[in-house]
């Protein structure tokens, strides 16, 4: 059978970076972050539909690119499409091998990379599986993974690292769900069965709150912080005044600021609740960021690399150098909330919205659409004057 030409070349097969690269006709080269390269083909089986009633589309592995050449992959893909066009699922044609758990997991990781807010989250997703699941079930065909295999992964960490184990279970479930959707396994997901049957032991967890500074101590701390002529200090001062999360401040870009309206508009993609958040800018906040315009960087609080933000640890390390023990950067949000609760006449919903928290039930939020901007502006004005009072004399 003559191989068909497509978008890829032999050179591209060797040099393309991580991702899923199409050749045409449903043939893809999948390059893992590790550099491993393999072929898959996606076909639509004629006359077959999934549970939602949509045409059945299935991915099949064609082998590693170091073993299967580009022309061989095109030949195999063409044969799979021929079978699918005839209404034959290649999985049942005696030629399709069931992929292993790790293969499906890495494919899911690559496919979901665009959905994560930043690459760090995507890397954490696959790292958890690589650390705990791959050594035990990574090479098993996904069709052979049941409750015993999942328990073998979860039990050793369920009590000692409970939060990690819960995330691990969710990620194993996601991989097996995708494997089923591609026709590689049948039946109920074993993670769901384990959860519903309560096979794993009950674990009582204490809520770990971020350690926070008492609000009465903030002005003196802020005054000392104002003497530090480093970018981390400026970012921490701004974080304290805005009661924002660390990532929101470190990744702030100039394009998010409306200086005419005195607003910092954090886009939904960078917010924990996936909703745009408007932060009123006070004179104290502006005095921190306006001098930074002279750096002509895309990032407000630029790190050591041009146009790149500082490390997530930069502000915490500054606290340690200042001998401020037992306090976290995130804890300043709690400090702000405690201060607001002590002030007379501050409505709870105004304080909560200043922290970008959702207030009320889903129904209440559907009717109460205002973000109470002007009331929050006044609250942050009072907070800024309180915090920066000592440093301003």
In the prediction, which pLDDT does 162 show?
87
User: In a 3-state reduction of DSSP, which class is residue 143?
Assistant: helix
* pTM, full prediction: 0.54
Give per-residue burial for 351-365: e unless 16+ CB within 10 Å, then b.
Answer: bbbbbbeebeeeeee
Query: Cα separation of 241 and 335, whole Å?
Result: 11
In the prediction, which pLDDT does 238 show?
97
In the prediction, which pLDDT does 364 show?
54
In the prediction, which pLDDT does 393 show?
42
In the prediction, which pLDDT does 199 show?
80
User: In a 3-state reduction of DSSP, which class is residue 213?
Assistant: coil
Q: H helices of the chain, where?
A: 10-15, 70-85, 101-112, 119-128, 134-137, 147-158, 162-181, 190-197, 218-225, 231-242, 246-250, 283-289, 314-321, 331-342, 348-354, 362-367, 373-388
| Domains by residue range for the chain, with CATH | 10-92 (3.30.160.390), 101-197 (1.10.150.130), 215-388 (1.10.443.10)
In the prediction, which pLDDT does 343 show?
92
User: Can you give the pLDDT of all 393 residues of the chain as single tens digits?
Assistant: 344 456 899 999 999 999 889 998 889 999 988 888 888 888 887 766 655 667 767 788 887 888 889 998 898 888 888 877 876 666 555 445 678 898 888 888 877 877 776 667 778 899 999 999 999 999 898 988 999 999 999 999 988 888 899 999 999 999 999 888 877 888 889 999 998 888 888 876 555 555 789 999 999 999 999 999 999 999 999 999 999 999 999 999 999 999 999 999 999 888 887 789 999 999 999 999 999 999 999 999 999 888 899 988 999 999 999 998 888 999 999 999 999 999 999 999 999 999 998 776 565 555 456 788 999 999 999 999 999 984 554
């Amino acid at each position: 059978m003559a191989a068909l030409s497509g978008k890829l070349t032999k050179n591209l097969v060797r040099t393309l970076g991580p991702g899923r690269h199409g050749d045409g006709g449903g043939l893809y080269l999948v390059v893992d972050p590790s550099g491993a390269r393999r072929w898959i083909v996606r076909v639509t089986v004629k006359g077959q539909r999934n549970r939602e009633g949509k045409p059945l589309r299935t991915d099949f592995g064609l082998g590693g690119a170091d073993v299967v050449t580009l022309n061989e992959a095109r030949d195999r893909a063409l044969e799979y499409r021929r079978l699918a066009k005839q209404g034959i699922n290649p999985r049942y044609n005696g030629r399709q091998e069931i992929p292993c758990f790790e293969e499906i997991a890495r494919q899911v990781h690559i496919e979901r990379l665009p959905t994560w807010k930043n690459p760090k989250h995507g890397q954490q997703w696959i790292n958890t599986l690589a650390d705990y699941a791959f050594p035990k079930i990574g090479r098993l065909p996904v069709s052979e993974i049941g409750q015993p295999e999942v328990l073998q992964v979860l039990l050793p960490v369920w009590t000692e690292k409970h939060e990690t184990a819960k995330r691990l279970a969710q990620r194993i479930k996601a991989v097996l769900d995708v494997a089923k959707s591609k026709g590689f396994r049948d039946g109920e997901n074993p993670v769901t069965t384990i959860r519903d049957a309560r096979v794993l032991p009950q674990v009582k967890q204490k809520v770990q709150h971020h350690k926070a500074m008492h609000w009465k101590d903030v002005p003196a701390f802020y005054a000392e912080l104002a003497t530090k002529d480093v970018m981390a200090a400026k970012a921490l001062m701004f974080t304290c005044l805005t009661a924002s999360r660390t990532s929101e401040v470190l990744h702030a870009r100039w394009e998010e600021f409306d200086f005419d309206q005195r607003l910092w508009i954090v886009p939904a993609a960078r917010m924990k609740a996936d909703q745009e958040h408007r932060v009123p800018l006070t004179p104290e906040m502006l005095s921190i960021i306006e001098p930074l315009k002279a750096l002509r960087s895309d990032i407000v609080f630029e790190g050591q690399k041009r146009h790149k933000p500082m490390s997530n640890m930069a502000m915490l390390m500054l606290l340690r150098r200042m001998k401020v023990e037992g306090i976290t950067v995130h804890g300043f949000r709690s400090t702000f909330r405690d201060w607001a609760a002590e002030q007379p006449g501050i409505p709870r919903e105004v304080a909560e919205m200043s922290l970008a928290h959702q207030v009320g039930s889903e129904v209440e939020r559907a009717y109460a659409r205002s973000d109470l901007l002007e009331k929050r502006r006044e609250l942050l004005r009072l907070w800024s004057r309180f915090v920066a009072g000592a440093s301003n004399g």
